[in-house]
Structure 1
Amino acid sequence: MTTMWQQVLAIDAKYNTYRTPNNPQFRTLYIRRRSQLLRDSAKAGFDPQLRKQYLKQRMQLLTDKYGASISLSDQSSLWSRSASIRGSRTNLDMLDDSLGEIRTHRRQHSRGSGNKLDLMAEDPTGLVPTKDAGASKAMAGGTSLSENYAFTGMHHIFDHHQRAVTAVKFANDDKSRIACSSLDKTISVCQVLPSPATVVCILKGHTKGITDFSWSLSNDQILSCSLDATARLWTVSSGTCARTVSDPQHAPLHACCFQPLNNNMVVTGNSRGLVQVMNVSTGKPTKGGHGKLTGQVLCLAFNDSGTLLWGGDDKGVISSFQYDMATGKLTKGKRLVVCEGSPITCISFRAWVSREARDPLLLINCAINQLCLYKITSSDGEVSLKKTFSIKHRKETIRSSFCPLMSFREGACVVTGSEDLSVYFFDIERKLKPCVNKLQGHSAPVLGVSFNYDESLLATSDAEGLVIVWKRQQDEGGAHILEQK
């Protein structure tokens, strides 16, 4: 029954953006109420066949009313829609006819035009793996990058937070645990596998909204920071606060992270531009462990070895620091103005993403309607622009992430939230039409995104407090289409 009601809810969420376009708050309330009613109904234990029939009729009614899921007018989004439909076939067999119509239309369109770009819409891979990657492609099962990031729908929806969920993150090397930080002053730790998903505990203690958090390497602790000018270290197993550390300037904190190789050291960034290294055992700042940005520190990121630290601020500037592993001292590195006055809301580091993208990279969200990819060019953190991707981003704290698995195909993906209520997947190596998928289901700007380590689940959060866990497409054998590390 749980699976069935989640399928019904996934259909409702799919069409949610078409309901009351001038009143997004109503759409959020609608989905929450539907979730509650469907959960209650599932507990009553109705006949599965009756439920299946209801599922078909519900889909037909929504299609008749909105007609958006099989619209053929927007050629630029034709592949993403058909991919979503194909990914839903496992659970929604009534879409077969609709899918057939779309395929027929695409075949007729490509034959009529004879244009290479149109043929790429028919075969969205577009990219042929390099000769050297032939064996790797066979290992990956021969599926395209677009097919690899297709989704069957929603695995679960959490609606227990009362305000915006600022960040959502899976635990390290963990398929089933996520944590969510919220402006409602709490952090929730949730178990999403096995079904049904549950809220394990709520971490309470901050007196103002929580802006950021980070899992420790062993997942036994969570570091959080808040607008109340404190950072807290939580013991996950007991749900208790192990230590509270106040900001030296008593300023609101917007970013925090563990030192990758020494989780006894943490770094915070405050609204006065201070980047501060602290020892959580003593609760005191380290000597020389501070740096200054031009504006409010909104995001922080280390490289894997913990020797370089980058910070982004609300003035549109990225600054790098060299970190001394022995003392915790920060030495100022390079400074780059991405766009003056446009906040940098997220920084992610990746040593290399695929066999084609071997350079160390930074993925950066900048509030100029762009997701930016930078190549790291020096040992002191200097970067140069590699590529940009268009998203809607002007006001919110939008986050993004590299997809965690190493690609055996030509191309590599990143995922990001957006203020247009969607989740986007971009192939960083594709020159034309880099968007390989787009997920719709949120009724508010999508703030946080996080894959679990094997990419079988994706968690996304929004400005109305909703968290959606998406399920990856499965192959014919029932296994998730994954790539090898």
Structure 2
Amino acid sequence: MATVWQQQVFALDARYNAHRAPNHPNFRTLYIRRRSQLLREYSRTEDPTFRKQYLKLRGLLLQQRYGVNCDQNSIRSRSISAKSSSRISESPESFRFQSENVSPQEMGGVVPTRQAEASRAIVGGTTIAENYAFVGVHHIFDQHTAAVTMLKFANNDRSRLGCASLDGTVSVCNVTASPPHVEVVFRGHKKGVTGFDWSVSNDLMVSCSLDGTICLWNIASSKCLRVVRDPIGAELLSCLFQPANNNMVIAGNSQGMVEVLNVSTGIYPRGGSSKLGGKVLSLAFDSTGVLLWAGNNKGTLVSFLFDAETGRLSKCRRVVVAENCQITCISWRAWISREARDPTLLVNCAANVVCLFRVIDKEGGLKLRRKFSIRHKSSLIRSTFCPIMSFRQGACVVTGSEDSCVYFLDIEREGKACVNKLQGHACPVLGVSFNYDESLLATSDNQGLVIIWKREKRPGSAAGFQNS
């Protein structure tokens, strides 16, 4: 209960942080970090009977001091009333984390089994809840002035975090330095940045924007190497490197086109575009770079085969996840272990669900395995697989939500799947990303705040899974 109370107080302070010293962002960051530290220290000796009273008084004082009401309850009530006429009916039950009526047998062994003794030994034999006990705030970044739409740690890197924002910039942060700091801010787009990706070797970064351009950045020199406009002048909403050939970049635009770009030459190859329809909001490759999935704002998910030699795209399978509900994130994961061999797709859909699909054939066909309810109707909510879940009994995914919380979901658990909830944000949580060893989790929100969470250290845990 003390941990929940700490996060509630921290979230209250975060809601008012934009009003605190508006011309001094460094002070705001320092203040909120110190508040987090004091809350952790105070809760060790604090009397639980005063928690509710303190939270209420703190809210009243902040409201009087800044002359605005940022109370979370009133925010939620306004949000619910504004959406009461929505096409999809909502009930209180729809926002509880529950799986659909899919039996463990129907899951098809999609997660590691209880016989994985060696795998459990690697992580110290701890439970899923213990492994994902992220409670403390490691650092807070607020260099962006608009929503941070996407976060991504560099490949196999525990320190460098990329952040894309609707303020038109992309930043790279070092989260393990002392102190953590922003290494570089890339300024080249004229409108909001909607997506980005690291190259395999982390020496390059590609970003796309509402201004209809793709930019290629050199990380070491902090320079823009190339700017390429969309061939039809449309807004670009998603992009990623082809994993086997980083000369190739795939982008999705607002006119429903999935396009292949040779970023080294700035040329769009013939046959490298395909019409999906709607607005292409999300893209994901498998590890080979042969299978590509794209999702749009109409609830449609389509798979493509990519020809590495010619850059040609061939449309294969089509699935409607939820009609006219935007698909905001797709994540692919090959469950490489002796216990679980099925490749899997994690999909955020603005029908208040996160969906888990099994990839059933070489053309990217999908079979729904489970659904989890979250609050998601309009924002660009993203989720991610936990990087080293295949070494554990069970497996977790993490997702943002429009209720300002971050949820850890055990996809093997029957019944209630939520094993942890973080409450430090004051508005919809958009981006989530783990570093490769799961020691740190980064989350971003609609106001531009980025929070770095650290794992709670537990005696007996494997060294590789603890925060340094």
**TM-score normalised according to structure 2 size:** 0.80
Q: Using a 3 Å threshold, how does the CA distance of structure 1 residues 34 and 185 change in structure 2: closer, same or farther? A: closer
Where does residue 221 of structure 2 map in the other structure? 238
Asked if the contact 2:335/2:390 (under 8 Å) is kept, the reply is no
Where does residue 181 of structure 1 map in the other structure? 164
CA deviations on 1:386-445 (whole Å, 9 max, x unpaired) are 100111100100011111114333211111110010111111111221111111100110
Asked if the contact 2:252/2:283 (under 8 Å) is kept, the reply is yes
Q: Identity of counterpart residues, as a percentage?
A: 52
Where does residue 9 of structure 2 map in the other structure? 15
Question: Which residue, 193, 204, 213 being the options, matches 2:176?
Answer: 193
Asked if the contact 1:456/1:480 (under 8 Å) is kept, the reply is no
Give the CA deviation at 1:352. Answer: 1.2
Map of 1:66-465 to 2, 5 A cutoff?
A: 66=52, 130=113, 132-352=115-335, 356-465=339-448
Q: Which has the bigger relative contact order, CA under 8 A and spacing at least 6?
A: 2
Which entry has the higher C-alpha Rg, 1 or 2? 1
Q: Which amino acid aligns with 1:256?
A: C
Once residues 273 and 42 of structure 1 are traced to their aligned partners in structure 2, the CA distance between those partners, rounded to angstroms, is 42
> Which structure has more helix as a fraction of its residues?
1
Q: Using a 3 Å threshold, how does the CA distance of structure 1 residues 130 and 315 change in structure 2: closer, same or farther? A: closer
Local SS of the residue matching 2:281: strand
Once residues 248 and 207 of structure 1 are traced to their aligned partners in structure 2, the CA distance between those partners, rounded to angstroms, is 17
Local SS of the residue matching 2:116: helix
Give the CA deviation at 1:57. Answer: 7.9
Tell me, yes or no, if structure 1 residue 39 matches structure 2 residue 15. Answer: no
Give the CA deviation at 1:263. Answer: 0.2
Q: Which amino acid aligns with 2:320?
A: V
Give the CA deviation at 1:59. Answer: 8.2
Asked if the contact 2:194/2:236 (under 8 Å) is kept, the reply is yes
**TM-score normalised according to structure 1 size:** 0.77
Where does residue 74 of structure 2 map in the other structure? none
Give the CA deviation at 1:65. Answer: 5.1
Where does residue 470 of structure 1 map in the other structure? 453
Once residues 308 and 224 of structure 1 are traced to their aligned partners in structure 2, the CA distance between those partners, rounded to angstroms, is 21
Where does residue 16 of structure 2 map in the other structure? 26
Local SS of the residue matching 2:270: strand
Q: Which amino acid aligns with 1:185?
A: G
Matched pairs, number: 406
Once residues 52 and 181 of structure 1 are traced to their aligned partners in structure 2, the CA distance between those partners, rounded to angstroms, is 31
Q: Using a 3 Å threshold, how does the CA distance of structure 1 residues 176 and 27 change in structure 2: closer, same or farther? A: same
Asked if the contact 2:123/2:461 (under 8 Å) is kept, the reply is no
Once residues 467 and 248 of structure 1 are traced to their aligned partners in structure 2, the CA distance between those partners, rounded to angstroms, is 33
Give the CA deviation at 1:55. Answer: 4.3
Once residues 53 and 338 of structure 1 are traced to their aligned partners in structure 2, the CA distance between those partners, rounded to angstroms, is 42
Q: Which amino acid aligns with 2:129?
A: S
CA deviations on 1:227-255 (whole Å, 9 max, x unpaired) are 00001001111211100011011000000
Asked if the contact 1:355/1:410 (under 8 Å) is kept, the reply is no
Once residues 33 and 276 of structure 2 are traced to their aligned partners in structure 1, the CA distance between those partners, rounded to angstroms, is 52
Once residues 441 and 42 of structure 1 are traced to their aligned partners in structure 2, the CA distance between those partners, rounded to angstroms, is 12
Local SS of the residue matching 1:64: helix
Once residues 145 and 224 of structure 1 are traced to their aligned partners in structure 2, the CA distance between those partners, rounded to angstroms, is 35
Q: Which runs of 5+ in 1 are unaligned?
A: 1-9, 44-50, 70-128
Across the aligned residues of Structure 1 and Structure 2, the Cα RMSD in angstroms comes to 3.1
